[in-house]
Amino acid sequence: MSKNIIFSGMQPSGVPHIGNYFGAIKNWADLQDDYNCLYCIVDLHAITIRQDPAELHKNSLNALALYIAAGLDPDKNILYIQSHYKGHTELSWLLSCFSYMGELGRMTQYKDKSANNPDNINLGLFAYPTLQAADILLFGSHLVPIGDDQKQHLELTRDIATRFNNIYGDIFTIPEVFTPKTGARIKRLSDPEKKMSKSDGEANYVAILDPADVVMKKFKRAVTDSDTEIRHDPENKPGVSSLLEIYAVATGTSIKSAEADFDGKQYGFLKTTVAQAVIDNVTNPIQEKYNDLIKNPDYLHQVAKKNAEKAAEIGEPILTNVKKAIGLLL
């Protein structure tokens, strides 16, 4: 029997941070043996916010190198660039006729991004979740591994697919969400009430490509509290709890045993130990492979091209079914 399908993606806007890694990429790597996986670099989503062309161009190929360096096998997984397969935009238009203005307007990401970019509230930004639904539904995806902040978009994807199926029959697979138990919402080190986000500026997030001394410096500045006890209590001790969560996911231990490791220790020790765990287990090993991979852009272009073709092989029959169901003349 063929394996179930996974789809997930990341925007090539800037360098990914440890939130992207723990919330998504790490889990993609963990799931790659049990599913047929498509892991996409969603450049068409990124342009809903104005991008510098040269940066976007560079970041797209670098993101592919980073996927591979983070452990995604390019022969086993379909790693590709969204704009290389036209099926995404084609299905997105079809689904836009089944997406309601009201539900799109309620999306938290749309509200946040329009508040941050008041002079560029464009149609693409509004329709963003419909394109995301198209990404997922185009391949009959069963599972979508994402961080917490994308759950609302996944719910909407399920609503759109169900609405379509209720009219035309069982065309779309209704996807399930996968979020990790720990790491689904990594917080800002400088403000542990907020999630770590690329739009916050580099000082506020730990980028996967930050050199070790920068990672250490950022963790040393992490906000804790005026108490001294190291325990996991997100409500009352958000900073300390967030550091314990990062330590747990970086070392593959539970929160309980992370707490035990720091029993009776001071905050300074907690910060430097968590930083070192991130450096040893995440940033350093990824950077070593990444630096090798980006020396060979021809290889990366080849991977992107070959895998976009593989994506099209899966997507085209589904797209044809959708068109037939709607009544388009083929």
Handedness of CA 33, 36, 42, 43 (dihedral sign): positive
Per CB under 6 A, residues contacting ligand TYM are 7-11, 19-20, 22-24, 42, 45, 132, 135-136, 144, 146-147, 149-150, 153, 184-186, 195-196
Q: How far is the CB of 201 from ligand TYM (least distance, A)?
A: 14
Question: Maximum Cα–Cα distance for the chain, whole Å?
Answer: 71
Is 49 or 299 the residue whose CB approaches ligand TYM more closely? Answer: 49
Phi, psi of 147 (to 5 degrees): -80, 170
Minimal CB distance residue for ligand TYM? 23
- Cα→Cα distances 240→187, 221, 248, 267, Å: 11, 12, 12, 8
| Catalytic residue annotation | 113, 195, 198
Is 129 or 228 the residue whose CB approaches ligand TYM more closely? Answer: 129
Q: For the chain, what's the residue count?
A: 330
Spatial contact of 196 and 210, defined as CB atoms under 8 Å apart: no
Is 135 or 259 the residue whose CB approaches ligand TYM more closely? Answer: 135
Is 171 or 177 the residue whose CB approaches ligand TYM more closely? Answer: 177
Q: How far is the CB of 130 from ligand TYM (least distance, A)?
A: 11
**C-alpha closest to that of 61 among 80, 37, 86:** 80
**C-alpha closest to that of 198 among 1, 2, 17:** 17
Q: How far is the CB of 267 from ligand TYM (least distance, A)?
A: 22
Cα–Cα distance for residue pair 68/290, rounded to 1 Å: 8
Is 62 or 266 the residue whose CB approaches ligand TYM more closely? Answer: 62
Whose tokens are 């005026």? That residue is 226
Is 123 or 329 the residue whose CB approaches ligand TYM more closely? Answer: 123
Phi, psi of 178 (to 5 degrees): -125, 120
Q: Which residues contact 118 (CB under 8 A, 6 or more apart)?
A: none
Q: How far is the CB of 264 from ligand TYM (least distance, A)?
A: 29
Cα–Cα distance for residue pair 10/115, rounded to 1 Å: 22
Cα–Cα distance for residue pair 19/25, rounded to 1 Å: 9
Q: How far is the CB of 284 from ligand TYM (least distance, A)?
A: 21
Task: Report which DSSP code applies to 4.
Answer: P
Cα–Cα distance for residue pair 321/94, rounded to 1 Å: 12
Q: How far is the CB of 316 from ligand TYM (least distance, A)?
A: 19
